[in-house]
Amino acid sequence: MKVTAPTTAPTTPATSLADPHPGFLRSLAETRRYLLGRPSRIMPTPDGKAVLFLRSPARSPVHGLHEYDVATAATREVVTPAEILGGAGETLSEAEKARRERMRITDRGFASFGLSPDGATVLLVLSNRLYLFDRASRKTRALTEATTDAVVDPRFSPDGTRIAFVRGHDVWVADVAGKVKAHPVTTGGSENLTHGLAEFVAQEEMGRFEGWWWSPDGKRIAYTEADHTDVERFAIADAAHPERAPAVFPYPRPGKANARVRLGIVAAGATGKAPRTTRWIDWDRDKYPYLALVLWEGVRAPMCVLVQTRDQREAVMLAVDDNTLATRPLAIERDDAWVNLDKDLPRWLPDGRGFLWVTEHSGRRELELRAPDGATKTIVVPASEGFVSLCHVDPAGREAWVLTGDAISNRIVRVPLDSDVRVVLTRDRAEHAPVFARRAGLYVDTVTAADAWPESFVCRADGSVLGRLPSTAETPPFRVNLELTTVGAPGFHAAVIRPHDLRPGRRYPVIVYVYGGPHALVVKADARNYLYEQWLADHGVIVVAIDNRGSPRRDRVWERAIKGNFADVALADQVLALQALGARYPEMDLSRVGIHGWSFGGYMAALAVLRRPDIYKAAVAGAPVVDWLDYDTHYTERYLDLPAANTAGYRDSGLLAHAPKLSRPLLLVHGTADDNVYTFHSLKLADALLRAGRPFEYLPLPGVTHQIGDPVVREQVWRRTADFLFAHLGVGA
């Protein structure tokens, strides 16, 4: 079809449509999609007699600590942030804010907690200070003095007598009994040379948030030293407050310098008086610059590290000699495209007789048991069973609990490690996220489904339900009219959300909710994922979501189809699946299709109207990556290789070259404080569109990061998105 470019800038009139659910968007924002009030950070005690968890009120992000008694099913809030702070406001350092951004945490109050090995004491952090809560006496005491430096990643020693943490770029140790004042065990840490902190790409892309580890006997600490000297610095200035100094972060772009990371071991003595010398672990850091995982799990197994090449085509598990700190390879995974990392694997068995290893050499994920020398002993979960992740290994090392399934749902399976017998503990079409007690045969399974709201069930090891953790969350005012289906020859998974008052014979505009990138899914057996989409649908549209090739939890060929180019396969798949949906469901009017998404989804939404205006008539692109030369190394190079090796792939995957082709309405939305996809991405696209004479709209969000924590801003972004798409699709006309 012929596309005529508009000659004047499109404007978005306020929608005249009646809101089918008045007040819903405000509730959706204030309840954080109705998740506030639900148990989070769930942790059973080692003996399995209680379950600790964080929970907030239904419309407040401030979490308190709660305890569920397994025997009586009674729950009580045991300590609140207000009780500890005495009514004073909570303060967070810039470093802690950035760390929480990496972890996708927008909570306040208690963001997390730790539990002593015997389960008697809870470790809490508030306003840059450590506190200990005694479960028996219900008393809280401060362990460290208040400072302006963040207290990061505190954890108990294996015997529970000490706590190590990071403060001021160095690793510190505090005595739980309070007899010895907290003191540093590393020195010389700075913004350029951090000790005990995971570097940016480790947190953002590898799933490694730890930068230090206790030895099994508690006498030593291993820690990372990350040298950021050669890494580019990005500054985020608040244009609304020019009197404030910019926040500056090291940010490695493709083809440029990463932080140089090495791993050392230092004594963790009881006093801070004696000088400590760090001994450095020896591996080829030029060949394997990425430190993905550190395992120091028991006295019967060697310390191990999982390291990765810069091109991510090889990962190797290295055993560390305890005396010389030299390393030797135990297992190697290679892939012509890239090797996926798993934050839970490899894992040594408690008795040291072997370790669990994940591989994709057969074309799908498998879980293997390997001997201490790395030789494969048995395939624990073969490719045919759809291995998703490892959940737990029993203290005797005889059984493992795993998740298996497909891209839509999973199931919990108990797998003996010395036989082929397995027990499927769940058979529903749902997503399960179990958390196990360290020693007892008990776990808490948080279940999400297409036809039910999330619930957290307390279960025995055999899967039988003992009770459920209570929630104070509000209930959404409507159910999601959700259909999960598969279309197209390759078998694209799709979600279809229709209006509750769907009228037979009527044709509806279509809005695509897109992500489209690797390592994430938008088609899920999870009704809460589509509440906003149902609100859109009830205005008189059909909303669809599609997972194209490149998405996870399929086979290797499916996931790696995007290697070398983010745009071509992903967009072609989205179009093919959308057309297949339109052919199957005549109520979809494919002459009126809009699209919206955030992050990679924002990139896909902009890409759709730039390259396929014949299909997509309007787009809202939130925090889009515009030029892949400006995203981070570990993510981008995994899929596109280094820029020098794939110049065409970077050019063709970006949006800037296509800017002069824009002929459809486009709304760009971006937070000015985004330190993941920096706001200069949208500014670069805006500049290219302006210079090409292409009309567009741009909505900056002052002071907002990659996540939108402020419920007022969140609501208004949702409304602006709806108004823009409705206006340009003729919804209600």
pLDDT at 7: 35
Question: In angstroms, what is the C-alpha Rg of the chain?
Answer: 26
Q: Which segment of 83-97, 417-431, 517-531 scores lowest on mean pLDDT?
A: 83-97
Mean pLDDT value of segment 121-149: 91
Alpha-carbon span 319 to 327, nearest angstrom = 5
The confidence score (pLDDT) of residue 505 equals: 94
- pLDDT, mean over the chain: 93
Quote the pLDDT of residue 109.
Answer: 84
**Is 674 among the residues known to form the active site?**
yes
Strands 588-598 and 233-236: unpaired
553-566: string of b/e by CB count within 10 Å (b at 16+)?
Answer: bbebebbbbbbbbb
- How confident is the model at residue 508, as a pLDDT? 98
Query: Which stretch of DSSP H or E encloses residue 30?
Result: helix 24-30
Contact between residue 265 and residue 221 where contact means Cβ atoms under 8 Å apart: yes
- The CA distance from 490 to 365, in Å, is 19
Question: How high is the pLDDT of residue 127?
Answer: 85
pLDDT number for residue 2: 34
Instruction: Say whether pLDDT at 5 is over 50.
Output: no
Confidence band for 511, pLDDT divided at 50, 70 and 90: very high
Band of pLDDT at residue 3, cut at 50, 70 and 90: very low
Per-residue pLDDT band at 299 (split at 50, 70, 90): confident
Per-residue pLDDT tens for 312-361?
999 999 999 999 999 999 999 999 999 999 999 999 999 999 999 999 99
pLDDT of residue 8: 37
Q: CB of 106 within 8 A of CB of 97?
A: no
Token pair, residue 349, equals: 């068995």
Reply yes or no on whether 599 is catalytic: yes
Q: Are the beta carbons of 525 and 449 closer than 8 angstroms?
A: yes
Label residue 438 exposed, middle or buried (CB < 10 Å: 0-12, 13-18, 19+).
middle
Q: What are phi and psi of 506, to 5 degrees?
A: -90, 145
Among 107, 153, 573, 674, which one carries the catalytic annotation? 674
pLDDT at 593 over 60: yes
What is the distance of C-alpha 650 from the center of its chain?
Answer: 25
Give the per-residue pLDDT at 128: 87
Does residue 154 have a pLDDT over 70? yes
Q: Could you tell me if 496 and 490 are in contact, meaning their C-beta atoms sit under 8 angstroms apart?
A: no
Is the confidence at residue 568, as pLDDT, over 90? Answer: yes
pLDDT at residue 6 greater than cutoff 80: no
The one catalytic residue in 40, 599, 653, 682 is: 599
pLDDT, average across residues 478-505: 96
Res 453 pLDDT > 80: yes
The model's pLDDT over 237-296, given as tens digits with 9 standing for 90+, comes to 988 889 999 999 999 999 999 999 999 999 997 555 555 799 999 999 999 999 999 999
Split at pLDDT 50, 70, 90, the class of 12 is: low
Q: Which amino acid is at 495?
A: A
Q: What are phi and psi of 313, to 5 degrees?
A: -90, -5
Token pair 């939890």 is found at 553
What's the pLDDT score for residue 274?
A: 52
The model's pLDDT over 639-692, given as tens digits with 9 standing for 90+, comes to 999 999 999 999 999 999 999 999 999 999 999 999 999 999 999 999 999 999
Q: What is the pTM of this model?
A: 0.93
Q: Where are the beta strands (DSSP E) in 561-662?
A: 588-598, 618-622
Q: What confidence tens digit (pLDDT) does each residue in 19-76 have?
A: 999 999 999 999 999 999 999 999 999 999 999 999 999 999 999 999 999 999 999 9
Q: How far is CA 523 from CA 494, 579, 625, in A?
A: 6, 17, 22
Residue 503 has phi, psi (to 5 degrees) of: -105, 125
Q: Residue 569: which pLDDT band, with cuts at 50, 70 and 90?
A: very high
